[in-house]
Chain A
Amino acid sequence: MAREPVAVLFQPEDARLARHPEVFGMDPASRIVALCEAMTCSSAWARLRGDARLAVRPDAGIIGILGTVASGDRPILDVVGGHVAGLLEHLHPVPYAEAERACFELAEIIRARLQPDELADARVVPIPRGGLIVAAMLAYALGLPPDQVGGSAATGGVTILVDDCAISGTRLRERLAVDPHRPSIVALLYAHPDLCRRVEASSAAVIACVAARDLVDHAIDRPDYEAWRRRWAERSPQDLWTGDPDHVVFPWNEPDALVWNEVSEAAEAGWRVAPPSWCLKNRVAAHPGDVQRCEPQPGSVMPADTTVWADVDGMTLVAGLGDPRAVALRGSAAAMWRGIARTGSADETADAVGRQYDMTSERVRNDLESFIARLTQRGVLVAR
């Protein structure tokens, strides 16, 4: 598949990150870096990262994705600004203590649905992986012994099918189909009430589908809600429910969020926003080395506030919000850029590049002055 050069920049609203200091930290520069680290955990980034880098300008709150991408992956890249903003707008982190509280409330809901003898014969069955963690807490909250947790039901008792959250209901439907006649209660920490009703309607064996916490559907606020809902219902006919609820994130799991790829004509897992420091699933998927921090040394010549850069495939790619085209720098040009970024000084850069290439500083200085002039004219460097 053909590849194309890319230089995509965006400035996420810091106010959205600042709502969650426990997740992103206390200062804006740390927050934007944490968001970048979260983005490297995404399925989207796993596809893009081979020949692209995430460049972040912590002092200006700018993120850049620079490099080349396959044409078929371009749609995943082009939605990054809107998708990340949407996830952050409705981000709902659930810390362990809150998950534990919700488990105890879920236990009370289940006790209200089952007689004591039914509960004594019930089996808690988790849906991996997040459901395993919830099932363990729920079993403690219900006072169930270990032999009533996990495995498959050997008796005719009720199955309590457990997951941390359910959004579309696809996995629930698949799991219920494994043992379709088993009387079951579906127990979730978070779900939309309409999804619960549809799970109950999907099988006569489902006694109830209950959630400790209700999710709110934000899709209905979209000006194109009806068209959006029809479109996604057609794209994902296996879903029991189509909506866009809070982006619930647990300390062990950030659920998938889908984006539409018009090239592949498929819904694909998109971007993630929970930093690996907060979410176990993202900790093992992270590629922190893919994040290049652009932290220029202040001086008489330095990258403009709106410029990001990254080393990709032997080049230094430079892109600024005020310049319609990015530039690729190799060899001496890349060395000059790095020298300017690291020293803020034309003199120090000329000396260092001269030493590196065994050239006189005077020869390098003439070229460097022209280099600085051209990049200043493009708006990606500022010289004082």
Chain B
Amino acid sequence: MDPIVEEGPEGYSEPKLEEWGTVTDLTQTGLTHPGADAKQGSAASQGV
């Protein structure tokens, strides 16, 4: 099993929860508006 702490063992400190971004749930979009503002067709090559 991989080590639980993968970075070097720097000094221990009390665990903190930092607020990150808003959670956006797009499930309903997929259910009610499959397709979005999209269409099939060629795009300029982006090298992928």
Contacts and interface: CB of A to CB of B under 8 A. Distances in A.
A binds B: yes
Contact of B38 (A5, A43, A245, A270): A270
A244 interface: yes
B10 to A, nearest CB: 7
A365 to B, nearest CB: 12
Interface in B1-48: 1, 3-7, 9-31, 33-43, 46-48
A364 B14 CA distance: 9
A10 B25 contact: yes
Given A258-B43, A269-B46, A357-B5, A319 B38 contact: no
B36 A79 contact: yes
A87 to B, nearest CB: 8
A257 B43 CA distance: 8
Contacts, number: 211
A82 B25 CA distance: 11
Contacts of A321: 23, 25
B27 A11 contact: yes
Contacts of A326: 19-23
A8 interface: yes
Interface stretch (A133-141, A176-184, A202-210, A334-342): A334-342
B27 A244 contact: no
A352 B21 CA distance: 30
B10 A331 contact: yes
Interface stretch (A17-25, A106-114, A150-158, A167-175): A167-175
A79 B16 CA distance: 32
A123 interface: no
29 contacts: A5-B20, A6-B21, A6-B24, A7-B21, A8-B26, A9-B25, A10-B26, A10-B29, A10-B30, A81-B26, A83-B35, A168-B41, A228-B37, A244-B35, A244-B39, A247-B40, A255-B42, A258-B39, A267-B43, A325-B23, A328-B17, A328-B20, A332-B13, A339-B4, A353-B4, A353-B5, A356-B9, A357-B9, A358-B12
